[in-house]
Chain A
């Protein structure tokens, strides 16, 4: 189980951001993203300041730029939608390079591109510098219900097991010369999904029995419950607090 405490977005390394406590980072990330979302779309300078702040955080966390751009690809479907907006949008229109574009649509495209890119980058910085158990512990400290973090913990721990099982079923199908890829071949996929469900469910039952046999009473023991020192809060909160100041200034002007 090589990935028990490391996930797809994690970048192994040592940096000031890696050292910060998880709940501090999650809180800072949330505050920053909401500051970005609340920024009025006309305030180009505010988005520029946010981008510079975020670039500073990326640098401090020593996240490779190539890795960051690879992860930004999740946005592609919405980028496509953003490019359609100037053509679909209503209201006044303007001429750009001989194309008639909706002004409202152009604003919409800009808003989505700017805010979504900043938001995703912020969550990548958090995820890239925090291991799974720390994120879960951090959510616990932020008063997320225990049941949610416990279920999420099991989900992440067994994700690779379930994915491995799915992969083995697919290999078994391929090695027998069947490669379903169209909707009318969906039955083969769905029946293997059915057995995947039964295997996952029965594994869940076995895991629970094994845990009860080892003294499980409904929640996991917590080993380090120390809270974060004031210094960590101060360092982590610089980024979101500057972002909020920028947002408030841009809202007032």
Chain B
């Protein structure tokens, strides 16, 4: 399916949501193109599983469509609300997963030499996911929101319902732990050639 470009690029998320609630089809397309990649990237890093992340992204977006008619203007940012929904859905998944055998979790392929750049990138993403998975959930959440989603600390504080200082502490500790977890894999990931 081909998607038209986002022609409402200058319109805020909230204005688009109001337009959507009033039956505007272009607003639905703009919001889909604008928000689905963000919520998908977040869920993919939190869960380390693309298929599950797509489920979460679809469900979070569905909840956004449903709330549109009752959206209270000026109370919360649309993106913040959406990330909070996605965060809760991810937490539920992770909690359910903990009940399942841990052996089922995908293991990163260690040290497999890859010739094609695409394979190198896939290996790197697997390594990142494995390293993220080794972090405590709140640290992982803060690191993903800060460094992959590019959100500000006050926005992250709102999503995670904690103070800004706590966010700073979580991201700093998380990034250090991530760097430590990946440091042994630099050669395997092809970083020594760079």
- Bound together: no
